Structure 1
Amino acid sequence: MDRRKFIRQSGLATAGLVIAARSQGFSGSADFPDVRLPLASRKFSSKAVEQLISDLRRKTANKELGWLFENCFPNTLDTTVDFTTIDGKPDTYVITGDIDAMWLRDSSAQVWPYIPLCHQDKELQQLIKGVINRQVKNILKDPYANAFYKDETKESEWKHTDITEMKAGIHERKWEIDSLCYPIRLSHGYLAETGDMSVFDDQWVAAMRLVVATFREQQRFHGAGPYTFQRNTAWATDGVPMGGYGYPARPNGLICSMFRPSDDATIYPYLIPSNYFAVESLLQLESILLRKGNLEQDAKAAKSLALQVSDALKAHAITHHPKYGNIIAYETNGFGSFNLMDDANVPSLLSLPYLGAIKATDPLYKQTRNYVLSLDNPFYFKGTKLAGTGGPHIGLDMVWPMSIVMQGLTSNDEKEIKYCLNTLQHCHAGTGFMHESAHKDDPAKFTRKWFAWANTIFGEFIWKVYREKPALLQ
């Protein structure tokens, strides 16, 4: 289904039904309604996840946050996974929620918080292993595509509007750097937790070689490369100008990305947060390849590219702001032009420490963060109910709960974390779930009733607070 159709849908009807079922609004002392799918209807059930939910709810005095955690943290497993075995290998197809397609980015992020529980639940480990296997198939099919179908006979709604090479089984073909970074992050996190090398077979190695080759291609030192994209649409952020190659960029070592993790087109092709993410991902890839053995040349190629992109970031990604000092730009073109903003989708400038791409204590990041969390960022919205980053994808005055989660995940300040918890507790509009975005003055005006990434990353935040600063949940 067209993602754009969902961004116009308000959740008022659903919110009204659930709010009516609650006796004391958002006080946290009410009997909260059962809005989670019944056990018999869930796609996958994990004993380790259920035990964590039980423990957290029992030990958390803030009953509303406990209720939200129970609804949101397992939402990916409850509603979006199709776990099976194909040719003796686990295979997991993961939809985003209300769109029946698997994004490389979203699928990685949706199962990421479950990795620490793998040692307690071998079935959960197999499910995550299946996500890696499915992502490998998708990358080998087309490294430039961002979203795929499990059923290759299913015809994409974009087939008749997009001017690009659409193969069978592809839902959408928007080139986004992070689409190839997230599977590496998932693989690296899986290996660090489980020590299981069996998932890194010949197909996985072939996919990773293709990732490195695609990044090299999109440095555009030898021409614009094979990828172009245009769409017949009235949405300006859905099309790529200049014959589908984007506005000019001077080759300097950075990787071009035609789209952001929001699936919106970039203005300047060098999307800086995604290039930072690529550096971290390539170094993680190097470590996996070295651990696997007999792949020294591939490991060397990954590291060499990481160092080249890192050097280019130091030379081209930083600009001076008259108020905040040196900050990291959101986009640049290599000709001296910068786009100063941030977007709620991850990778964002705000999320760089969460991704391991920069330390939260780095002065450059701290100055950039001060800019991002201010009204000087054109996509930071502050209203009577919510304050946070949004983006062009939904439009003005719509705050993404994901950005508030990320503000909390990248902070060590208890006051700031508590503020983020309080804000998130009051932005679900009585539904018991997080959403894609909500209006800064009225959280009942939200988009996407079923958006698993927002739910799962909210659960990840709550679990982190529960482990590290449990008093903030009381």
Structure 2
Amino acid sequence: MSDRRHFLKLLGTAAACGGLAGLSPAMATAPAARFASHRPPRAQRKFTSDAVEREIARVRACIGDPKLAWMFENCYPNTLDTTVELGTLEGKPDTFVITGDIDAMWLRDSSAQVSPYVALAKNDPALRRLFRGLIRRQAHCIRIDPYANAFLRDPHAPPLSWARQDETAMAPGVGERKWEIDSLCWPIRIAHAYWQATGDAEPFDGGWRAAMQRVLATFHEQQRLHGPGPYHFQRTSPRPSDTVPLEGYGNPTRPNGMIHSMFRPSDDACLYPLFVPANLFAVVALRQLAVMSQAIHHDAAFATACTSLAREVEQAAHRDGRLRDEAGDYWAYEIDGYGNRLFMDDANIPSLLGLPYLGCCAADDPTYRRTRKRAWSSDNPYFFKGTAAEGIGGPHEGLRMIWPMSIVMRALTSDDPGEIRQCLRWLRDTDAGTGFMHETFDQDDPAHFTRAWFAWANSLFGELMVKLADERPALLRQP
């Protein structure tokens, strides 16, 4: 579709968001070429969905700021346009989703990347096929190794270049083997969301059930109530956050019922192995798994085992995972069970900022509100404030580097229109003219950024814009 035809189509669909008032004067007069689509030509897209294309037109017509509208059109379908590979696996549909500029599939990223499309799957056979394939592929990966975070499409390919000398038990098909609790939670989250949205139980076959048994067993192993368990990991690297101390088993802990994690969702090593946000995420995921197991497979025993573990982890996290000051309780980021607690936050999800997004608490929960305020302040050593924006980063890309995902997450967890609009301004003005989200950008210079092709961040931004179009259309209409 030409830029002019596309622009006219937007004018025609703007009525869904209040007529032409949904478009700013700048958008009504600016040359369409100024914001020409940066999507690949249709013939070069990895995957197309009529439902997604309709959603792009609907939401874009609701966005009063022309640059934000352009960025939404680029970002929202980026996962489908560029990262999805369809095929067959064991004679059934298969979907392999790379992260973007890294040719491997992370269990976390692949789940988060497709999350914005779940609501559209019920009425789109192509999307249902995509989700069925991804759910099966993720279950296949978990059966290969529940401790791995990244996998390769070719089971005979060597690990990712930086992981080939790692001292750990690498299985064929594994790209990297960093044990992160959330790697097993995200596939449950997307499977549950898909099942809730469609009622489709087709992908939850014997292979998926076997994978879920591995999830439960791995979580039990990493409670470390009877020893450290089988996982260890070491890497020769100039970055200390790339390896795990004490022969690869992590810093000492006093087991308390929580699950140990050697790495954070940033792929950086934990300082204290009892990582609070991921444990709270595991509680949610285990309860979702219990509901599915009971409803789909009528497996009461497995459902009970999942809810029992969720209760153990939740009680331990609430008992030991908090700090307190004169204002009240707030969540720690990591603890060791001996009384040592680390407060910080990292932009990658699960994070303290993102707890309501994952269903771990309500957005107005008092403990969360106190935690959120601290995370978005100088109390967090990885909160950065510069002339371009303010936001949360993390050790993965170093000081001064803000992750756009943190700004998106602040907006997703906010009920303050002014705060949301400020987040949209920062997101709009820090893309360095590319029309996409990046992994990070310098707090004073958005032209200094990492990862031009990072699909998770693009999907999350698209998810925010859809949410605002549905829940706050008047805010989104304002230029």
TM range (shorter): over 0.9
Aligned mate of 2:259, from 252, 255, 259? 255
TM-score (norm 1): 0.93
Which residue type is aligned with residue 327 of structure 1? Y
Question: Take 1:116 and 1:294, find their aligned partners in 2: how far apart are those partners?
Answer: 26
Deviation at residue 229 of structure 1 after TM alignment: 0.1
Question: Take 2:90 and 2:241, find their aligned partners in 1: how far apart are those partners?
Answer: 40
The number of aligned residues is 447
Question: Take 1:288 and 1:366, find their aligned partners in 2: how far apart are those partners?
Answer: 31
Question: Take 2:325 and 2:135, find their aligned partners in 1: how far apart are those partners?
Answer: 41
* Corresponding position of 2:127: 124
Question: Take 2:317 and 2:108, find their aligned partners in 1: how far apart are those partners?
Answer: 22
Which structure 2 residues correspond to residues 39-438 of structure 1 after superposition, within 5 A? 39-156=42-159, 157-321=161-325, 324-438=327-441
Residue 61 of structure 2: SS of its match in structure 1? Answer: helix
Which residue type is aligned with residue 368 of structure 2? Y
RMSD in angstroms over aligned alpha carbons?
1.1
In structure 1, list runs of 5 or more residues that go unmatched: 1-26
Residue 144 of structure 1: SS of its match in structure 2? Answer: coil
Give yes or no for contact 2:333–2:343 (8 Å, CA) kept in 1.
yes
Residue 356 of structure 1: SS of its match in structure 2? Answer: coil
Give yes or no for contact 2:132–2:202 (8 Å, CA) kept in 1.
no
Residue 320 of structure 1: SS of its match in structure 2? Answer: strand
Which residue type is aligned with residue 84 of structure 1? G
Deviation at residue 226 of structure 1 after TM alignment: 0.3
* Corresponding position of 1:21: none
Deviation at residue 57 of structure 1 after TM alignment: 2.2
Q: Could you give the per-residue CA deviations for residues 112-160 of structure 1, whole angstroms, max 9, x where no partner exists?
A: 1100001221111110111110000000000000000010121112454
Deviation at residue 287 of structure 1 after TM alignment: 0.2
Which residue type is aligned with residue 246 of structure 2? M
Q: Could you give the per-residue CA deviations for residues 199-255 of structure 1, whole angstroms, max 9, x where no partner exists?
A: 111111110011000000000000000000000111110000000000001010000
Instruction: Report the identity percentage.
Output: 54
Question: Take 2:297 and 2:454, find their aligned partners in 1: how far apart are those partners?
Answer: 39
Residue 95 of structure 2: SS of its match in structure 1? Answer: strand
Question: Take 2:164 and 2:120, find their aligned partners in 1: how far apart are those partners?
Answer: 43
Give yes or no for contact 1:96–1:102 (8 Å, CA) kept in 2.
yes
With 404-413 and 81-90 compared, the bigger mean Cα shift is at: 81-90
Q: Could you give the per-residue CA deviations for residues 282-303 of structure 1, whole angstroms, max 9, x where no partner exists?
A: 0000000010233111101100
Residue 35 of structure 2: SS of its match in structure 1? Answer: coil
Question: Take 1:144 and 1:293, find their aligned partners in 2: how far apart are those partners?
Answer: 25
Give yes or no for contact 2:178–2:267 (8 Å, CA) kept in 1.
yes
Aligned mate of 1:458, from 461, 466, 469? 461
Which structure 2 residues correspond to residues 1-20 of structure 1 after superposition, within 5 A? none
With 287-296 and 167-176 compared, the bigger mean Cα shift is at: 287-296
Deviation at residue 32 of structure 1 after TM alignment: 1.1
Which residue type is aligned with residue 242 of structure 2? D
Give yes or no for contact 1:159–1:166 (8 Å, CA) kept in 2.
no
Question: Take 1:358 and 1:61, find their aligned partners in 2: how far apart are those partners?
Answer: 32
With 115-124 and 326-335 compared, the bigger mean Cα shift is at: 115-124
Residue 230 of structure 1: SS of its match in structure 2? Answer: coil
TM-score (norm 2): 0.92
Give yes or no for contact 1:65–1:473 (8 Å, CA) kept in 2.
no
In structure 2, list runs of 5 or more residues that go unmatched: 1-25
Question: Take 2:89 and 2:174, find their aligned partners in 1: how far apart are those partners?
Answer: 19
Give yes or no for contact 1:158–1:171 (8 Å, CA) kept in 2.
no
Which residue type is aligned with residue 330 of structure 1? Y
Which residue type is aligned with residue 221 of structure 1? L
